[in-house]
Structure 1
Amino acid sequence: MGGMMILASATADNGDVARVTGEAYTGAKVVPGNIGWPMVFNSAGMKRPKSVPLLSGHRNLPEFKLGDVASQHIDGSIFVDGQIDAPTDAAKAIRVQGKNGKWQLSVGITALKIEEVKAGESRKVNGAVHEGPFDLVSKSILNEVTVIPVGADAGSSLKVHACHIAASAGGRSMRFKQWLEAKGIDASEKTAEELTVLQAQYDAEIKASAPVLAPRVENKIEARSEQPDIAAAAALVVKAERERVAGIRAVCAGEYPEIEAAAMASETTVDDVRASVLKAMRAGRPSGINTANTSADRGNLIEAAFSSAMGVPNLEARFDEKTLKAARKQFGTSFGIQAALLETARLNGYNGHEYRITAGNLSEVLHYAFPTRIEAGFSTLNIGTVLSNTANMRLLTAFNGVEKSWERICTKSNVTDLKTVTGVRLTGALKFLQVGSDGMIKHGTLADESYTNRARTYARMLSITREDIINDSVKALTDAPARLGRGAAIALKELFWTEFLSTAVGGDGFQFFSTDHNNYVTGANNVMGVDGLSATFLKFRQQVDPDGQKLGISPAILLFPPELEVTALQLKNSTEIRDTTASTKYPTFNPWSGKFEPVVSSDLSDST
């Protein structure tokens, strides 16, 4: 993230050269105006160049450069020391207007590493314990310091005081620096506070007409009516910086992260970035024609990162290794709802550079994330597709996790609509008969049996709420699809077993499982065991078709409830059976060992 501002106070006085010293950042928690979220910057982790430019209103132009300042890290705070020495109108205006009240500084910082500290958590930073929620910027770069009227760090302060030539009583001219050198004092070895004391001694010793240093005013912002509208100018500069950042992101499109990072950390213009990207494209252009869709590729990365964060299994079956590696490199492993929405919105033209969705930008982000129209020449990505694809993978995993023993004992067929469908099965006397000496083939007879089926629609719906998005609740998209998938599987399972176990009477006046259909065993053999299984096996072998002919089908599946699972497995796996109740001779061979495929269903023991 770039273009972040941390503001500090400043006072000013007239003079040809104005020296600035003070505390730019106290190490406290601040709420930058262009972010709207509390942040703490680790002062020790801030990379500070030897000197940084001092600008007016963040305008990076020669006519608005005021001078240069150096920074120093002391006990968690950042102190600055430098001077306003440019012969520009902006520098002169600030020196002149400084006598009317306090100025402030805006420090431009590029955040390199950000950690979210949630509510209820705390971190010790800059020598103090800070309670969440806030964002901890552990690594950053100090880019520039700007004179501006509004501050975010109420504890910061800065002094601007005159350092111009003063005349002595003997008519001799001596600059402050020359005065220090005459006394054998090296200014570079002195702190800002020590130099302030020496400046006061110099003024008293010379007894010239140099103005008295303005007293330091702590934690107070004063505004005078005669000051120019610096706030309005600063707002324009902030707007321009936001447009620059958005332009850089649009040009790089996530394909050139090194160019994008370098541009964010510097003052590179969008045109310069565009030139760098074109150069990189030419260097990496293959000999053939590349027709890859950048937006589609970017969308694939977003979907892969989001699927990984949601814990979708078997991602390798959906995404190739190159895509998964690129997604992890670019987005990491904590890619939540907010990140997916923001990245998709930016891909579709959203210019906001926030990294968090709030109540303030939610509507605009959703507008770009769910585009309603497609403009010629532009590829768009609908976040609904990403969320749907990812949620469907979670849904399918949960759907397949529910018991599906019913699928082993039935067949499934398709229908073209939701109307009642009549199925017909032909029957009749079609057994081949011997052809007589006259060569005549006898006619068979056909009849039919009919049955009806009808498909019906079953559904449930869950939605992602506004709170889920603002709270970045990935759980809303991990648990909800899984529960929907399980619910769909349970509905199918219950429909089948309700019909299978129904005691309703059929068209012939009998229940499906009944002695009239010769498919129901009663009496002592109606118990799972060798004898009961033998009786049931015999019943199956005796089954006939509607024409009275034996089916001639061998049973292959043994279906049972959980209460009989141990007995069923013993019958399937035991190679012998012994009778210890009598001292008589008996065979030990188990005729049913390995004979059937065991299929268990908990619905067979459901009393409801």
Structure 2
Amino acid sequence: MTKRQFYRSLSLRMEKGTPSTYDEKTRSVEVVVATEGRVRVYDWNRGVIDEILLMSGLEMPDNRQVPLLDTHSRYSSYSVIGSCRNMAVEKEELVGRAHFSTVQEAESQHTKVREGHLTDFSAGYEILEGGAIWVEDGESAVVDGRSFEGPVRVVSKWRIKELSVCPIGADGKAKARAESPAPQQEERLMDERLRAFLERRGLPKDATEEQAWEYFGRMSDEDQRKGQRSAGANNHTGGSGHQPAQIDPAVAAQNAIEAERKRSAEIQSMCRSHGFDDLAITLVADGSSIEQARKTVMDEILKRQQGDGGYGFRAPVEVGVEEMQKFRAASQDAIMVRAGVPVEQPAPGFDELAGRSLVDLARMSLIRSGRSDAGRPLDVVGRALTTSEFPVILGNTANLSLMSGWDASGETWQIWCDTGSVSNFLTHKQARASETSDLDEIPEGQEYKYGERSEAFEEYAIATYGKLFAITRQAIINDDIGALTDIPFAHGEAAARKVGDIVYAVPIANSVMGDGKALFIAAHNNILTGGVVSETTLNEGYTKMGLQKDIAGKRGLNISPEYFIGPKSIQGSAEIFFNSNQFAADNKGATRTNIYSGNKLTRVYDSRLDDDSTTAWYLAARKGKTVKVFFLDGIQKPYLEQKSGWSVDGVEHKVRIDAGAKAMDWRGLSKNAGA
């Protein structure tokens, strides 16, 4: 079953004043959250049905606390007016204590409950996978050892999500609790959206519930008669003809609800596009038709034009942008938390969305975009992917996961390599100048001479590396969080891995330098005598690097190694040497001081070097004297692009990174083949 939050639609009213369980000091009252009573609810597939919630199948939060909301308004933290705490099952009832917050937004509801005007509470809950059994009319079923007669939905696995203070509750017994409850009387309640539809069709606003249902019945009869007349008009052959199908009240109610939903969505979209958010609330509430709403909006636009001093229309400020950004941030953090990815500072409201499925988020995106959220999950997700809201949420989540993979990759090249920036994919040159010639002694009356400098060049270029992946409609409908997090995370790791491959290919491939010779060659005086890490081999490395000359071959550069770079295979033996303060020069024991112990050299071990040699190791001078990694415009992270899927149903993503690496000088690098 698709995860969806349900509410109830019948109430049992109690004629009672202030509940005697009310506590002024704690601003709380004991409530019945839900019962096992048979209650009428709305089902997305069957319309209005009977439902029974079994307390034996209830799942509660570990802290036994859920938010207390104002009439199931779940899309903003401003609607949270407190919390329901200490929930527990007592026989066939779920009870708890509703605590009202001291914030101003909760004061109105708190006062009305305290004064006895508001007595009804309604539970928002989620039916878990495989947790509901539908019993057909005339049949019976045994659930949890108990027999139930159909038609009814028996829920044996469900999770409480929130509790709301409502003008008219869902479960008859879900009220502020009194010590001695008064007699209860059942009252059949009409869905408020159906009632609004009937009022626009002529039902008086002050009509009772019974009168409303009678009006609905008369309207259904009239629709049926119209159908009969239409059938007669089309049946020119005479005879009895086909009998028109009977109008199912549940179907008519669903059609009315759908019409109301479309009216509300179109009015909200119309008003939001012109910056009239408050007006949208009024027009939806007073039952204005779409044509009436359009006329009202045009009148407001004309008023605003006049207020601008006659200089024409001024585009409204998009006051909804901030809320949209908040919803996006909360949604993407909620998805990351569900996937088990740590989020240091989650966006406000993420906890309200953490229990939502991806289809639920798609529906919420449609509603916020002023579009209908009705229909099958496949249709809902398809429409949501065409909005500006839902694809951004998916893209932001994928990008966060991509960056998490990039950061968690554990690459080692950043430790010892320098970085640079290029603006295009052309081959670039970087000059390497020699030292200036020494200053001459100038005798009295003699002329100064110009010094001489030599230059050499290294050429380098970057390339683009990338891959495609998709987030499909099927993955969203299946609530496959891994498609949004694990796959982008893996591509982030792959991007980081590719840069590392480029870097370590430089010493492994012994790439050609600007002088036309290999990076490591005897002519460059950077090939060391093969051997394991020791005083002798390191002495040779320090000596050869320190004696390197400038380009002109005149000046010693006094370069010193700062990094020891080796394969994983020698890490154990090398670390024993570097962590030993003394070593043995002969068989007399460890008596000589190890001048290379401690942190004299920063050690780097990378498994890519093992693929070339399990013994060879390298010494490298400070950053800038060895290998340099270049990125397009200096962007040292992968880039993620997305578009609506063409070859797949969903959203396609392209991951790319533009990078290249080059050894800028051989003098700061040396290689030992090991032993």
TM-score (normalised: structure 1): 0.55
Structural mapping, 1:414-429, within 5 Å: 414-427=421-434, 429=436
Matched residues, number? 398
- Aligned to 1:431, the other structure's residue is in SS state coil
For 1:273 and 1:488, locate their aligned partners in 2 and report how far apart those are by CA, in whole Å.
55
Q: Which structure dedicates a bigger proportion of its chain to strand?
A: 2
- Aligned to 2:604, the other structure's residue is in SS state strand
Tell me how far 1:560 sits from its aligned partner: 1.6
Determine whether 1:518 maps to 2:525: yes
Give the partner amino acid of 2:544.
K
Tell me how far 1:113 sits from its aligned partner: 1.0
Structural mapping, 1:466-481, within 5 Å: 466-481=473-488
Structural mapping, 1:168-317, within 5 Å: 230-231=246-247, 234-244=250-260, 270-271=284-285, 293-316=322-345
For 1:500 and 1:121, locate their aligned partners in 2 and report how far apart those are by CA, in whole Å.
66
Matching residue of 1:42: 52
Larger radius of gyration: 1
**Correspondence for 2:569 among 563, 571, 589:** 563
Do the aligned partners of residues 111 and 251 (structure 1) sit closer, same or farther apart at CA in structure 2, a change above 3 Å counting? farther
Tell me how far 1:327 sits from its aligned partner: 2.1
For 1:392 and 1:118, locate their aligned partners in 2 and report how far apart those are by CA, in whole Å.
34
Give the partner amino acid of 1:440.
E
Structural mapping, 1:16-95, within 5 Å: 34-35=44-45, 41-43=51-53
For 1:41 and 1:138, locate their aligned partners in 2 and report how far apart those are by CA, in whole Å.
15
For 1:546 and 1:471, locate their aligned partners in 2 and report how far apart those are by CA, in whole Å.
64
Q: Is the 2:38–2:51 Cα contact (8 Å) retained in structure 1?
A: yes
For 1:421 and 1:430, locate their aligned partners in 2 and report how far apart those are by CA, in whole Å.
28
Tell me how far 1:236 sits from its aligned partner: 3.8
Determine whether 1:436 maps to 2:446: no
Matching residue of 1:113: 125
Q: Is the 2:6–2:125 Cα contact (8 Å) retained in structure 1?
A: no
Tell me how far 1:429 sits from its aligned partner: 4.2
For 1:119 and 1:458, locate their aligned partners in 2 and report how far apart those are by CA, in whole Å.
47
Note the alpha carbon deviations across 1:412-468, whole angstroms, 9 max, x for none. Answer: 211111222222222364333333323632201233212222121110011012321
Note the alpha carbon deviations across 1:248-295, whole angstroms, 9 max, x for none. Answer: 799999xxxxxxxxxxxxxx9952699xxxxxxxxxxxxxx9967333
Give the partner amino acid of 1:533.
L
Q: Is the 1:577–1:589 Cα contact (8 Å) retained in structure 2?
A: yes
- Aligned to 2:510, the other structure's residue is in SS state coil
**Correspondence for 2:355 among 292, 309, 334:** 334
Matching residue of 1:598: 603
- Aligned to 2:450, the other structure's residue is in SS state coil
Tell me how far 1:547 sits from its aligned partner: 2.0
Do the aligned partners of residues 128 and 465 (structure 1) sit closer, same or farther apart at CA in structure 2, a change above 3 Å counting? farther
Do the aligned partners of residues 271 and 145 (structure 1) sit closer, same or farther apart at CA in structure 2, a change above 3 Å counting? closer
Q: Is the 1:346–1:368 Cα contact (8 Å) retained in structure 2?
A: no
Tell me how far 1:118 sits from its aligned partner: 4.4
For 1:240 and 1:454, locate their aligned partners in 2 and report how far apart those are by CA, in whole Å.
65
Matching residue of 1:553: 559
Tell me how far 1:533 sits from its aligned partner: 1.5
For 2:53 and 2:410, locate their aligned partners in 1 and report how far apart those are by CA, in whole Å.
57
Do the aligned partners of residues 228 and 388 (structure 1) sit closer, same or farther apart at CA in structure 2, a change above 3 Å counting? closer
State the Cα RMSD in Å.
4.8
Structural mapping, 1:362-377, within 5 Å: 362=380, 365-371=381-387
- Aligned to 1:488, the other structure's residue is in SS state helix
Q: Is the 1:42–1:125 Cα contact (8 Å) retained in structure 2?
A: no
Tell me how far 1:116 sits from its aligned partner: 2.2
Q: Is the 1:336–1:472 Cα contact (8 Å) retained in structure 2?
A: yes
Do the aligned partners of residues 556 and 121 (structure 1) sit closer, same or farther apart at CA in structure 2, a change above 3 Å counting? farther
Structure 2 unaligned regions, length at least 5: 11-35, 57-90, 93-121, 135-141, 161-169, 173-186, 191-239, 270-281, 289-316, 614-675
- Aligned to 1:459, the other structure's residue is in SS state strand
Note the alpha carbon deviations across 1:1-24, whole angstroms, 9 max, x for none. Answer: 578899xxxxxxxxxxxxxxxxxx
Tell me how far 1:306 sits from its aligned partner: 2.5
Matching residue of 1:141: 171
Do the aligned partners of residues 124 and 235 (structure 1) sit closer, same or farther apart at CA in structure 2, a change above 3 Å counting? closer
Tell me how far 1:539 sits from its aligned partner: 1.5
Tell me how far 1:517 sits from its aligned partner: 0.9
For 1:547 and 1:113, locate their aligned partners in 2 and report how far apart those are by CA, in whole Å.
81
Q: Is the 1:420–1:453 Cα contact (8 Å) retained in structure 2?
A: yes
Tell me how far 1:510 sits from its aligned partner: 3.3
- Aligned to 1:457, the other structure's residue is in SS state strand
Give the partner amino acid of 1:457.
T
Give the partner amino acid of 2:255.
K
Q: Is the 2:577–2:597 Cα contact (8 Å) retained in structure 1?
A: yes
- Aligned to 1:467, the other structure's residue is in SS state helix
Give the partner amino acid of 1:241.
I
Q: Is the 1:344–1:368 Cα contact (8 Å) retained in structure 2?
A: yes
For 2:420 and 2:156, locate their aligned partners in 1 and report how far apart those are by CA, in whole Å.
56
- Aligned to 2:404, the other structure's residue is in SS state helix
Matching residue of 2:651: none
Do the aligned partners of residues 120 and 452 (structure 1) sit closer, same or farther apart at CA in structure 2, a change above 3 Å counting? farther
Tell me how far 1:353 sits from its aligned partner: 5.3
- Aligned to 1:239, the other structure's residue is in SS state helix
Tell me how far 1:382 sits from its aligned partner: 2.5
Matching residue of 1:544: 549
Tell me how far 1:247 sits from its aligned partner: 6.9
Give the partner amino acid of 1:488.
A
Matching residue of 2:580: 574
Note the alpha carbon deviations across 1:206-244, whole angstroms, 9 max, x for none. Answer: xxxxxxxxxxxxxxxxxx999986526654432223454
Tell me how far 1:125 sits from its aligned partner: 5.4
Note the alpha carbon deviations across 1:44-72, whole angstroms, 9 max, x for none. Answer: 569xxxxxxxxxxxxxxxxxxxxxxxxxx
Q: Is the 1:575–1:593 Cα contact (8 Å) retained in structure 2?
A: yes
Matching residue of 2:464: 457
TM-score (normalised: structure 2): 0.50
Q: Is the 1:422–1:450 Cα contact (8 Å) retained in structure 2?
A: yes
**Correspondence for 1:350 among 347, 371, 385:** 371
Provide the identity percentage.
19
Q: Is the 1:542–1:550 Cα contact (8 Å) retained in structure 2?
A: yes
Do the aligned partners of residues 389 and 39 (structure 1) sit closer, same or farther apart at CA in structure 2, a change above 3 Å counting? farther
Tell me how far 1:473 sits from its aligned partner: 0.9
